[in-house]
Amino acid sequence: MGILWQAQSLDKHSLLPAAEIKLEKILNRGSVVYTHVNEVWPKVYIGDEQTAKDKLLLRSLGITHVLNAAEGTWNNVDTGSDYYNDMDIVYYGVEAEDIQTFDLSQYFFSAAKFIHETLNKLLVHCVMGRSRSATLFLAYLMIHENMTVVDAIEHVKKRRRIIPNWGFLKQLRELDQHLLERRASAES
């Protein structure tokens, strides 16, 4: 089965596969109103920079682990493990850019492992809590909860307004295909 390509008006040179357009349509079909933080899974929250830097809020939520999907210096959240020294928080940072060409898939399995091994409350965040952090959490649902990319998106969008960029949607679709093939061969 070949991939259908459809022109999209993101820029003059963008061609987007129909599969990503389908995922975008699912994302745009009804969702909750954007807030700074939402519980998207038992004991797992997706939030933004404001949430990540609000130590009082993190304490009130009982957050014990933080996955920063926007570690770094440009268009990122500059918390790092030192920021949470006084809070006894386990920190994991991913230095990722929210651009279509960034390969976030290189962090799918390590971030999913961190999320899976967290026994208490976890905040997964990036600058807006809508693209990088959402993508890593969607990958977790696909890897550890055996969800398809569509099921994972449907689950999260009922709880948080998310908008992974086109490149991240493509990477999630590729992960979905890889996991489906792996599960099919394991059943054989």
Taking CA 162 as the corner, what is the angle to CA 161 and CA 165, rounded to the nearest 5 degrees? 150
Closest listed residue to residue 156, CA positions, set 170, 143, 142, 168: 142
Select which of 23, 126, 136, 153 is catalytic: 126
126 is catalytic: yes
- The pLDDT profile of the chain, 188 residues, written as one tens digit per residue, is 333 333 334 443 354 566 667 777 766 666 677 899 999 999 999 999 999 999 999 999 999 999 999 998 777 898 989 999 999 999 999 999 999 999 999 999 999 999 999 989 999 999 999 999 999 999 999 999 999 999 999 999 999 999 999 999 999 999 999 999 999 998 87
Whole-prediction pTM: 0.85
The sign one gets for the Cα dihedral 119, 138, 113, 133 is: negative
| 39: enclosing H helix or E strand | strand 37-41
Residues in a beta bridge with 63: 121
Amino acid, single-letter form, for residue 72: G
Give one DSSP letter per residue of 71-89, joined into a string.
-SSSSS---HHHHTGGGT-
The sign one gets for the Cα dihedral 125, 127, 128, 134 is: negative
CB 77 within 8 A of CB 68: yes
Alpha helices in the chain (DSSP H): 18-28, 49-53, 55-61, 80-83, 108-117, 132-144, 149-157, 166-187
**Domains of the chain, each with CATH number or no CATH:** 37-187 (3.90.190.10)
On the CB side of 25, CA atoms within 13 Å amount to 6
The token pair at 76 is: 């990122």
